[in-house]
């Protein structure tokens, strides 16, 4: 049995500004998982002025999605670089069906799988209010009203179709993202404990069957 099956891999799923990054950071602090945020990686590339950064800057600022090829390569590179991680939290990835298929393929080839997809549910009015505040406070270019409308549209067109993909795999768990950060964290933590609890007995069962214990 591959040790990799013990790793805990989660996707934080939801529209832009749903609170995925905030919750991911909390999970990293609590569970020793590695956060893989394609948004953070791409913003770092833009900031560094690398070739990649130059290629994606305008696309991101106007609120469009960067190509699947680019983000899949970023994610594969990070999985490769973190062989000892207890698991990964994917945040902002996958955002399209081809990205989800590539993620499944790359995890499978390493003896891993996604355990759960945690969907943060937040309604559009609340998202727009959060972004209005964030734009005023941080001035992130893609938080301006025009770009944000495009991001929300792209989420509905290209990312929301991933919901049936993960429902079909039996992996989707929904969390009410409209509540306070603390309350959302509590809900996410409960999901995580449930997943951990179901992973361990399965393993014990396996050994019990092997050794009659
Ligand atoms: P948010 O969750 O607030 O929308 P992110 O930080 O996840 O923001 O993403 C910011 C931008 O980075 C996206 O609008 C898009 O241009 C680009 N991006 C991030 N992740 C992906 C991805 N998986 N596929 C394509 N583009 C991405």
User: Across the strands, what pairs with 120?
Assistant: 175
Looking at residues 59-78, what average pLDDT do you find? 98
Closest of 26, 22, 34 to residue 112, by C-alpha: 34
Looking at residues 184-191, what average pLDDT do you find? 94
Q: What pLDDT sits at residue 182?
A: 95
Closest of 89, 92, 81, 82 to residue 25, by C-alpha: 89
Q: What pLDDT sits at residue 204?
A: 53
Nearest residue (by CA) to ligand 1, atom 5, is 39
Give the span between the Cα atoms of 109 and 205, in whole angstroms: 25
Looking at residues 127-147, what average pLDDT do you find? 95
At 201, the pLDDT band (50, 70, 90 cuts) reads: low
Torsion of the alpha carbons at 44, 47, 50 and 55, rounded to the nearest 10: 90
Q: What pLDDT sits at residue 119?
A: 97
At 117, the pLDDT band (50, 70, 90 cuts) reads: very high
**Is 132 considered catalytic here?**
no
Probe residue for ligand 1, chosen from 18, 37, 38 as the CB with the greatest number of ligand atoms within 8 Å: 38
142 lines ligand 1 (CB under 6 A): yes
**Is 55 considered catalytic here?**
no
Is the pLDDT score of 184 beyond 70? yes
Ligand 1 atom having least distance to the Cα of 38: 20
User: How far, in Å, is the centroid of ligand 1 from the Cα of 60?
Assistant: 7
Q: What pLDDT sits at residue 71?
A: 98
Is the pLDDT score of 209 beyond 70? no
**Is 110 considered catalytic here?**
no
At 86, the pLDDT band (50, 70, 90 cuts) reads: very high
Nearest residue (by CA) to ligand 1, atom 16, is 60
**Is 20 considered catalytic here?**
yes
66 lines ligand 1 (CB under 6 A): yes
Q: Could you say which of 43, 55, 130, 140 is catalytic?
A: 140
Is the pLDDT score of 1 beyond 50? no
Give the span between the Cα atoms of 43 and 55, in whole angstroms: 12
Give the span between the Cα atoms of 34 and 84, in whole angstroms: 10
User: Across the strands, what pairs with 34?
Assistant: 88
Ligand 1 atom having least distance to the Cα of 40: 6
Q: What pLDDT sits at residue 32?
A: 81
Q: What pLDDT sits at residue 53?
A: 98
What are 88-116's pLDDT values in tens digits? 999 999 999 999 999 999 999 999 999 99
What are 151-175's pLDDT values in tens digits? 999 999 999 999 999 999 999 999 9
Model's pTM, two decimal places?
0.90
């Amino acid at each position: 049995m591959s040790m990799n099956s013990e790793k805990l891999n989660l996707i934080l799923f939801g529209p832009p500004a749903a609170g995925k990054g905030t919750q991911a950071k909390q999970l990293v602090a609590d569970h020793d998982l590695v956060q893989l945020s394609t948004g953070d990686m791409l913003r770092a590339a833009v900031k560094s002025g690398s070739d990649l950064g130059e290629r994606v800057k305008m696309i991101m600022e106007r609120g469009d999605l960067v190509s699947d090829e680019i983000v899949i390569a970023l994610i594969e590179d990070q999985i490769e670089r973190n062989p000892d991680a207890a698991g990964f939290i994917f945040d902002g990835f996958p955002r399209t069906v081809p990205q989800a298929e590539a993620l499944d393929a790359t995890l499978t080839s390493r003896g891993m799988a996604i355990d759960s997809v945690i969907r943060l549910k937040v309604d559009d009015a609340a998202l727009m209010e959060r972004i209005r505040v964030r734009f005023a406070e941080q001035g992130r270019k893609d938080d301006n009203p025009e770009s944000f409308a495009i991001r929300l549209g792209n989420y509905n067109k290209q990312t929301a179709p991933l919901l049936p993909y993960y429902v079909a795999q039996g992996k989707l768990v929904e969390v009410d993202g409209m509540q306070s950060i603390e309350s959302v964290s509590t809900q996410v933590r409960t999901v995580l404990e449930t997943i951990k609890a179901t992973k361990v007995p399965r393993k014990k069962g396996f050994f019990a069957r092997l050794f009659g214990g």
